[in-house]
């Protein structure tokens, strides 16, 4: 059974870089698309971006100038970096497996708060 | 970006009711649409992919239909565990976009 787990700091200062890792267990990361989605408190879902196992990426244009998604096949994980964060980036960040048949499964999510 | 308009934004229903949620795309997306259920404090769960394909393990009371711009999620007989927020997601092209959500509450 495939499981995903997000990890990283829960508090980031304004203007700094948010960094999260999603560790995949129960399956190889060397297939599928792997994505990040976020949800501000009390609001809806926003797709951040995808990375294919080959390393190719697609990002939401609204975040493209600040976001980088990378993959480490040796560690079976992929990562998100979001630079120059503001309070508007406070959200629960989810990782998920994707690729033509919807996002499934999802990680449990991790709350990242941007505050000084 | 393709806009996904979900309606209603909320609804009240009773156990046993038939519930229908709609999602309209701002342009044609063929059948590239999924439906997700989210309960408070939990990650979304995939219910339907490719507009009408039931994800493995999802009860058969959930069904999806539509293609092009208009899509529907139907719960044939609402159960207590179905009270949640439902989202549609188009994966026809980038950026992927979600609908605004429909909160299903107990009447």
Cα separations in angstroms, A33 against A52, A70, B7:
4, 12, 29
Rounded Cα–Cα distance for residues A61 and A98 (Å): 19
Contact A102 B43 (CB under 8 A): no
Per-residue pLDDT reduced to its tens digit, A14-59: 999 999 999 999 999 988 999 999 999 999 999 999 999 999 999 9
Give A109's contacts in chain B (Cβ within 8 Å). Answer: 43
Strand order, beta sheet including A57-59: A11-12, A110-114, A91-98, A33-39, A46-52, A57-59
Contact A102 B100 (CB under 8 A): no
A61 vs B: CB within 8 A = yes
Collapsing DSSP states into helix, strand and coil, what is residue B96?
Answer: coil
Residue of B nearest to A108 (CA): B43
Contact A104 B46 (CB under 8 A): yes
The residue whose two tokens read 């007989």 is B77
- Mutation for A interface: B32, B43, B62, most A CBs within 10 A: B43
B52 vs A: CB within 8 A = no
Please work out, in degrees rounded to the nearest 5, the angle formed at the alpha carbon of residue B42 by the alpha carbons of B38 and B44. 40
Per-residue pLDDT reduced to its tens digit, B24-77: 999 999 999 999 999 999 999 999 999 999 999 999 999 999 999 999 999 999
Per-residue pLDDT reduced to its tens digit, A53-100: 999 999 999 999 999 999 999 999 999 999 999 999 999 999 999 977
Q: Which helix (H) or strand (E) holds A38?
A: strand A33-39
* Beta bridge partner(s), residue A23: A5, A77
Contact A104 B55 (CB under 8 A): yes
Cα separations in angstroms, B105 against B15, B38, B102:
10, 13, 10
């Amino acid at each position: 059974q495939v499981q995903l787990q997000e990890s990283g700091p829960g508090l980031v200062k304004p203007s700094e870089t948010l960094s999260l890792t999603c560790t995949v267990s129960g399956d190889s990361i060397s297939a599928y698309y792997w994505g990040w989605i976020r949800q501000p408190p009390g609001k809806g879902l926003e797709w951040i971006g995808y990375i294919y196992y080959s390393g190719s990426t697609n990002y939401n244009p609204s975040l493209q100038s600040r976001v980088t998604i990378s993959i480490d096949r040796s560690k079976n994980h992929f990562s998100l970096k979001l630079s120059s964060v503001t309070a508007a980036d406070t959200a629960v960040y989810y990782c998920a497996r994707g690729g033509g048949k919807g996002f499934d499964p999802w990680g449990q999510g991790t709350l990242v708060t941007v505050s000084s | 970006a393709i806009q996904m308009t979900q309606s209603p934004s909320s609804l009240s229903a009773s156990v046993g009711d038939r519930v229908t949620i709609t999602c309209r795309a701002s342009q044609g997306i063929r059948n590239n649409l999924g439906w997700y259920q989210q309960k408070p404090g939990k990650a979304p769960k995939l219910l339907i992919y490719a507009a009408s394909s039931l994800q493995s393990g999802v009860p058969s009371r959930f069904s999806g239909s539509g293609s092009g711009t208009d899509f529907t999620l139907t719960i044939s007989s609402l159960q207590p565990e179905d009270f949640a927020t439902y989202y549609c997601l188009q994966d026809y092209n980038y950026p992927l976009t979600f609908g605004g959500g429909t909160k299903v509450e107990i009447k």
